[in-house]
Structure formats: structure tokens, C-alpha cells
Amino acid sequence: MFVLYFGYKYEQIFLWGVNMIRESISYILAFFVVLLAITVGISYTYKKESLENYHQVEVREGDSLWTIADQFHEKENIPKQEFVKWVQDKNDIHSSTIKPGDIVFVPVQKEEIYQIGQIASE
């Protein structure tokens, strides 16, 4: 009876320890899930906000990333290759093929386009 009593106590202590470990792992897992969700949310928000200040171009028949680069790269003093790479990265374009009607962001600030338009109209 003495051995049975101590065996029962040790079993309770063991089960209590196992439950504590499970609970701790649950909290740690929940923490990392929340951390991942926050990180993804911040990255997505950052990407959206960063493109709001850039000029958008509607692709016309016969346009390519290189012809669009010809129109704008000198205004920003960016080599054509870097211009095209920026457009591909920011617009999630995985080839150099674009279709008429597509809207792409270019590395030209909206304010600069507005200022150039004002100067041209004067």
C-alpha cells in the first residue's frame, strides 16, 4: 500500500508536468503564429504604400518594358536595365512580356510627372 500511494503521487506529478509542457508548447506556437501574421501584414502594407507615390503607365499596343524605359529612364537617371528590373520586381512581372491595357508602376515619382506637366503647359 505504501508503494502504491507513492506511485500514484509520482504519476500525478508526471501528468502535471506533461500537461505543463503541452500548455507551454501551445503558447509558444500561438506566439509564433501571431508573430508571422504581423510580419506578413506589415510587409504587405509596406509594399502597397511604397508604390502609391510612383507614376502608373497603361501599356499600349507595341509597348514593352524597354520602350517604357526609353520614355522615363532619363528623368530618373536610372540605367535602362535597372529601370526594367525595378518595374519587373515591383509589379511582379516574371518576364519581359506585357499586354496592352496592363497598368505598371514606373520608378518616377508622381510629383515629378505633375511638375513636368505644369512646366510644359506654361
CB 74 within 8 A of CB 85: no
Of the candidates 107, 90, 117, 5, the one whose C-alpha atom is nearest the C-alpha of residue 53 is 107
C-alpha torsion angle, residues 6, 7, 12, 16 (rounded to 10): 100
Amino acid at 62: G
In order along its 122 residues, the chain shows pLDDT tens digits of 444 455 567 778 788 888 888 888 889 999 999 999 988 888 776 655 578 888 899 999 999 999 999 888 777 788 899 999 999 998 989 887 899 999 999 988 887 665 554 444 44
DSSP labels for 47-59?
HHHHHTTEEEEE-
CA 90 to chain centre: 10
CB 54 within 8 A of CB 107: yes
Phi, psi of 110 (to 5 degrees): -60, -40
- Determine the pLDDT at residue 115: 54
